[in-house]
């Protein structure tokens, strides 16, 4: 006889209270070992993106053994604002790990979000497979580049690049907002995030100023590591935004001009980036395995994962392509949220989806049918997964050309949250 699976812990899930702050600080410090106890305390009492009301704890026998934060976010999807709940700072005390505490906490959080109308949640996984089991699917896939600045093209437009000054800040914030609206799942930034976090970073901000004085058309932010010496600097380029081709050429030219001192630049770009064609020659200073005739330029990286906590509300909330048409039956398998695990009639019209439960038994429709798990649905709805390709490899089941109907619905630019938005 196979052994019975372990019984999940009787975890009590509740909102954090003011009296929990010291316990939370100690728990976070012991779980992560990345900051002082004082810094962890400030994390819960003075954070620009959440309040104590957004913190949840898990108790066993009256003792707080785990916690997480439900970040209230707004993301831009197809240029429209969509509310998202970010899950982050998940901490389990070292002595309670490998006992199902983290999974119980996450399942309770998913039920909590659904109950409060938070249809979509997003997170950065410590391990993909763990969160796939909880219904999250990868939506952000980028290129992790490592190259010498000498491999970038020089440009006369670099003469318009200068160090950011205090009066430039509002223009940079507005430029980011404009760029985020054109992206996919890029986060809207609250003023507090700029003032309390981004403008206090210790790195370098530079801007591209157009022909008109004060007209900021692009900017970038980077940090320098001088551990190998002043003429073998390593640069981490965390944000690159350009609203015009001239600004793009100017900022690239600026990075190229650093070649005398900088040995390598590290940068994560969206899946539709143009950096691979800008480099003079294929180059990856942190290469993976070279195969056959292929030249290694960048490593693919998984970023954020998305979950549809409430299938009906989430699909109706996400904008789809204006050209989206058709109707299908969507059969969802969701082991965490039983209310999602059913068949739905989904119809696309005028850039929106209309979702309703499909009648069972005799009234079952003969619509094209797509059958998939909740994590695959998240990747599909996030635009990272082609329905037809997923059907070809057996990741979803499609009949009546359902995958072909859905193919146009979620097609968009690749999701990219921007590294400075990490939570």
For the chain, what percent of residues have pLDDT higher than 70?
97
pLDDT in tens, 373-419: 999 999 999 999 999 999 999 999 999 999 999 999 998 899 999 99
Domains 12-118 and 311-406 share a fold: no
pLDDT band at 361 (very low <50, low <70, confident <90, very high): low
Give the other-Cβ count within 10 Å of 392's Cβ: 12
Query: What tokens appear for 245 in the block?
Result: 């081709």
Q: Is the pLDDT of residue 332 over 90?
A: yes
6-15, 310-319, 366-375: segment of lowest average pLDDT = 6-15
Residue 3 pLDDT grade (very low, low, confident, very high; cuts 50, 70, 90): low
CATH T-level topology, domain 311-406? Nonspecific Lipid-transfer Protein; Chain A (3.30.1050)
The band of 35, judged by pLDDT with boundaries at 50, 70 and 90, is confident
Angle at 238 between CA 233 and CA 240, to 5 degrees: 110
Class of domain 12-118: alpha beta
Residue 5 has pLDDT above 70, yes or no: no
Q: Do 378 and 235 form a contact (C-beta atoms < 8 A)?
A: no
Average pLDDT for 206-230: 96
- Tell me the domain boundaries of the chain: 12-118, 143-302, 311-406
Q: Cα–chain-centroid distance for residue 115?
A: 23
Mean pLDDT of 184-197: 96
Residues 6+ away with beta carbon under 8 Å from 420? 198, 221, 238, 239
The answer to whether 92 and 65 are in contact (CB under 8 A) is yes
Nearest-5° angle of CA 320, CA 323, CA 326? 85
Report pTM.
0.94
Check pLDDT > 90 for residue 289.
Answer: no
| Angle at CA of residue 258, ends 253 and 261, nearest 5° | 165
Distance separating alpha carbons of residues 387 and 137, to the nearest angstrom? 14
- CATH entry, 143-302, from 3.40.50.1100, 3.40.50.850, 3.40.630.30, 3.30.300.130: 3.40.630.30
The pLDDT of residue 309 is above 60: yes
With cut-offs at 50, 70 and 90, classify the pLDDT of residue 2. low
Average pLDDT over residues 61-86: 96
pLDDT for res 16: 98
Q: How far apart are CA 417 and CA 140, in angstroms?
A: 8
């Amino acid at each position: 006889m196979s052994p019975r699976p372990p019984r999940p812990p009787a975890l009590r899930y509740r909102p954090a209270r003011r009296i929990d702050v010291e316990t939370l600080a100690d728990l976070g410090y012991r779980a992560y070992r990345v900051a002082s106890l004082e810094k962890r305390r400030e994390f819960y009492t003075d954070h620009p993106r959440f309040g104590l009301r957004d913190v949840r704890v898990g108790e066993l026998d009256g003792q707080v053994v785990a916690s997480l934060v439900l970040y209230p976010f707004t993301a831009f999807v197809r240029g429209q604002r969509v509310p998202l709940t970010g899950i982050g700072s998940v901490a389990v005390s070292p002595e309670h790990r490998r006992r199902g505490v983290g999974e119980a906490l996450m399942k309770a959080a998913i039920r909590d979000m659904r109950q409060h109308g938070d249809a979509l949640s997003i997170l950065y996984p410590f391990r993909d497979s763990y969160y796939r089991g909880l219904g999250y699917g990868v939506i952000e896939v980028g290129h992790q580049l490592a190259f010498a600045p000498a491999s970038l093209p020089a440009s006369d437009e670099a003469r318009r690049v200068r160090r950011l000054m205090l009066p430039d800040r509002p223009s940079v914030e507005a430029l980011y907002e404009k760029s985020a609206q054109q992206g996919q799942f890029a986060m809207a930034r609250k003023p507090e995030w700029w003032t309390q976090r981004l403008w206090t970073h210790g790195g370098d901000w530079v801007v591209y100023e157009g022909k008109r004085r004060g007209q900021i058309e692009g900017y970038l932010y980077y940090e320098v590591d001088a551990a190998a010496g002043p003429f073998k600097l390593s640069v981490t380029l965390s944000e690159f935004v350009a609203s015009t081709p001239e600004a793009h050429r100017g900022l690239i030219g600026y990075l190229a001009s650093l070649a005398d001192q900088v040995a390598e630049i590290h940068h994560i770009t969206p899946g539709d980036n143009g950096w691979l064609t800008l480099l003079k020659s294929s180059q990856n200073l942190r290469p993976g395995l070279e195969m056959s005739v292929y030249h290694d330029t960048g490593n693919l990286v998984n970023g954020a994962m998305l979950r549809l906590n409430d299938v009906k509300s989430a699909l109706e909330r996400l904008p789809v392509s204006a050209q989206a048409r058709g109707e299908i039956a969507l059969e969802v398998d969701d082991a965490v949220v039983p209310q999602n695990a059913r068949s739905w009639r989904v119809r696309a019209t005028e850039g929106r989806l209309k979702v309703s439960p499909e009648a069972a038994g005799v009234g079952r429709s003969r619509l094209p049918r797509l059958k998939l798990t909740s994590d695959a649905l998240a990747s599909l709805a996030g635009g990272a997964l082609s329905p037809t390709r997923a059907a070809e490899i057996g990741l979803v089941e499609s009949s009546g050309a359902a995958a072909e109907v859905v193919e146009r619905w979620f097609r968009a630019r690749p999701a990219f949250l921007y590294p400075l938005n990490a939570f």
